[in-house]
């Protein structure tokens, strides 16, 4: 009987702890003009890799309303997205929200990509909570900061009485935080002031590191803090270490491919004496080093494998795993993200039913002149390679009618797909500019995420590639006559 009571007490305590760890917030949104649009809600898994985690997908009802629920133990920023509109805002644990978004015309062509796939933020108002609302308080603080920078940016740059200016800003913000005693706002203000004091040479690097960046002070889930951290340590390893250390980086990273060896080298730097901080700074720098030809990408991935078993922090383990996934997800040889698309002939396209042929995807819209100019050359490629390549053109136009009007009477026989509100596809494939082309192999693995366009000698490139495969593929005889565009 005693055991039973102990068990009940343990369960109750566990539930209580879980409620502290993750509190529920319910969010209601009224977005006129967005009726029947698909909504994706997401947040970041961590604030170094910036890998996105989808929280929910839903659909706006015919009154312009939708809702979703979040579970978080601290203040966290969430985003919801409809087509090319995105709104981000902070959510406090155990707090419900209601947002009113300005009416938006989803048929306006100006809101759709031309060559850059970007996102717009419509105006919105948080009507619940009605008082002491965190996002509104942050907006007020940012207005003070923006006004300060606009009035004093030149003096700050030249160093003219900059310490007096920062002291005046500090006094103004102190008055605000006394009227709005939110711990999150106080921490946000402290972080902003620290950066201004650095600009005014009131705080040196040693002070910043010892005051803000020691492991006990790292606020992994605080966007303002991590923005400060990321900015302070950006390109620190490849560019800002002493020459004595940097000249050994190549050998340590590319040859040993070991985090332990890299950590031992970085420990010689005066700011990186703490091993846990050193590890986090490496995580911050690896994405920047990964893009450099100076460092072997496989070596950097191996270092991430080492950190994924970190003895210092489970958060570091998690960031290392997320970074590894982010950096490798579009690499040649990596499995392409799954998709299911419906073309204009109502055929279903996915990696499974397209297996056995190469897949050549091009993204376009009718305002992208370069995209349209590629189509006649795609037609030539299709006529020569359609037995071994599946050609897919994916339209980002505002409506299927726009897409169909563009390709009408053109005798294009390959697959055309209207993307619509399939935001996850754009995100999974990192489509950020138009035109964008992607080449996938017969097994559904990336050959090239940023593949050659038809006019960039795609034919010659493709023939060379399949010839190197020693005749693995049956190619139409006409394609083997020469490597030039006919």
Per-residue pLDDT tens digits for 411-470: 999 999 999 888 888 889 999 999 999 999 999 999 999 999 999 999 999 999 999 876
Per-residue pLDDT tens digits for 367-381: 999 999 999 999 999
| Domain 19-130, CATH | 2.60.40.1120
Please report, rounded to a whole number, the percentage of residues in the chain having pLDDT higher than 70. Answer: 92
Res. 109: pLDDT tops 90? no
Tell me what the pLDDT averaged over the chain comes to: 90
- What span, in angstroms and rounded, lies between the C-alpha atoms of 91 and 95? 7
Which fold is adopted by the domain 340-480? Answer: Glutaredoxin (3.40.30)
Contacts 24+ apart (CB under 8 A), 126-131: 126/89, 126/97, 126/98, 126/99, 127/98, 127/99, 127/100, 128/28, 128/96, 128/97, 128/98, 129/95, 129/96, 129/97
In contact, 168 and 152? CB cutoff 8 Å: no
The candidate with the shortest Cα–Cα distance to 191, out of 217, 159, 153, is 217
**Domain 19-130 shares a fold with domain 340-480:** no
What is the value of pTM for the model shown? 0.86
Per-residue pLDDT tens digits for 308-353: 999 999 999 999 999 999 999 999 999 999 999 999 999 999 999 9
Q: Which residues contact 156 (CB under 8 A, 6 or more apart)?
A: 149, 162, 165, 196, 199, 200
- 92 vs 79, 352, 404, CA distance in Å? 14, 42, 45
Query: What order do you get walking across the sheet with 358-364 strand by strand?
Result: 415-418, 389-395, 358-364, 436-440, 446-448
pLDDT of residue 159: 75
Please report, rounded to a whole number, the percentage of residues in the chain having pLDDT higher than 90. Answer: 82
Local structure of residue 365 (DSSP, 8 states): -
pLDDT of residue 476: 53
In contact, 198 and 162? CB cutoff 8 Å: no
The residues spanned by each domain of the chain are 19-130, 137-219, 236-328, 340-480
Q: What radius of gyration do the chain's Cα atoms show?
A: 27
pLDDT of residue 475: 52
Per-residue pLDDT tens digits for 285-318: 999 999 888 999 999 999 999 999 999 999 999 9
Tell the residue number behind the tokens 């890998």, with chain if given: 51
- What span, in angstroms and rounded, lies between the C-alpha atoms of 290 and 272? 21
Per-residue pLDDT tens digits for 112-126: 888 888 899 999 999
The candidate with the shortest Cα–Cα distance to 88, out of 149, 146, 40, 141, is 40
Res. 17: pLDDT tops 50? no
Per-residue pLDDT tens digits for 180-210: 999 999 999 999 999 999 988 889 999 999 9
The sign of the torsion formed by the CA atoms of 314, 237, 231, 49 equals negative
- What span, in angstroms and rounded, lies between the C-alpha atoms of 80 and 103? 16
């Amino acid at each position: 009987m005693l055991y039973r009571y102990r068990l009940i007490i343990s369960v109750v305590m566990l539930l209580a702890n879980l409620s502290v760890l993750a509190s529920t917030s319910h969010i209601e949104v009224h977005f006129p003009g967005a009726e029947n649009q698909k909504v994706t809600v997401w947040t970041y898994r961590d604030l170094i890799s910036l890998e996105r985690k989808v929280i929910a997908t839903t659909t706006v009802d015919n009154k312009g309303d939708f809702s979703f629920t979040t579970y978080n133990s601290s203040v966290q920023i969430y985003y919801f997205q409809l087509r090319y509109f995105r709104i981000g805002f902070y959510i406090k644990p155990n707090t419900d929200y209601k947002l009113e978004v300005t009416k938006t015309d989803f048929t306006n062509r100006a809101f759709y990509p031309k060559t850059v796939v970007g996102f717009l933020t419509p105006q919105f108002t948080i009507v619940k909570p009605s008082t002491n609302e965190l996002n509104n308080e942050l907006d007020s603080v940012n207005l003070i900061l923006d006004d300060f920078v606009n009035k004093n940016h030149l003096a700050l740059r030249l160093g003219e009485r900059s310490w007096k200016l920062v002291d005046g800003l500090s006094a103004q913000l102190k008055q605000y935080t006394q009227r709005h005693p939110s711990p999150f706002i106080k921490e946000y203000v402290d972080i902003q002031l620290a950066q201004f004091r650095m600009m005014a040479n009131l705080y040196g690097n040693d002070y910043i590191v010892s005051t803000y960046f020691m492991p006990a002070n790292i606020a992994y889930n605080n966007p303002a803090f991590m923005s400060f951290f990321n900015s302070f340590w950006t390109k620190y390893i490849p560019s800002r270490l002493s020459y004595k250390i940097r000249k050994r980086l190549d050998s340590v990273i590319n040859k040993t491919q070991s985090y332990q060896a890299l950590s031992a080298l970085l420990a010689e730097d005066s700011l990186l004496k703490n091993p846990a901080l050193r590890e986090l700074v490496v995580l911050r720098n690896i994405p920047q080093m990964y893009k450099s030809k100076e460092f072997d990408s496989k070596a950097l991935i191996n270092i991430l494998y080492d950190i994924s078993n970190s003895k210092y922090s489970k958060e570091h383990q998690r960031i290392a795993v997320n970074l590894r996934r982010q950096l490798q997800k579009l690499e040649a040889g990596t499995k392409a993200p799954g998709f299911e698309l419906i073309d204009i002939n109502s055929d279903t396209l996915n990696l499974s039913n397209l297996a056995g042929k190469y897949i050549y995807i091009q993204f376009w819209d009718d305002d992208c002149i370069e995209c349209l100019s590629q189509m006649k050359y795609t037609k030539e490629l299709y006529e020569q390679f359609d037995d071994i390549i599946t050609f897919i053109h994916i339209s980002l136009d505002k409506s299927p009618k726009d897409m169909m009007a563009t390709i009408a009477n053109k005798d294009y026989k390959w697959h055309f797909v209207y993307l619509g509100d399939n935001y996850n596809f754009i995100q999974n494939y990192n489509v950020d500019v138009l035109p964008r082309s992607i080449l996938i192999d017969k097994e559904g693995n990336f050959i090239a995420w940023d593949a050659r366009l038809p006019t960039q000698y795609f034919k010659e490139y493709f023939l060379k590639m399949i010839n190197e495969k020693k005749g693995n593929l049956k190619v139409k005889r006409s394609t083997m006559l020469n490597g030039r565009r006919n």
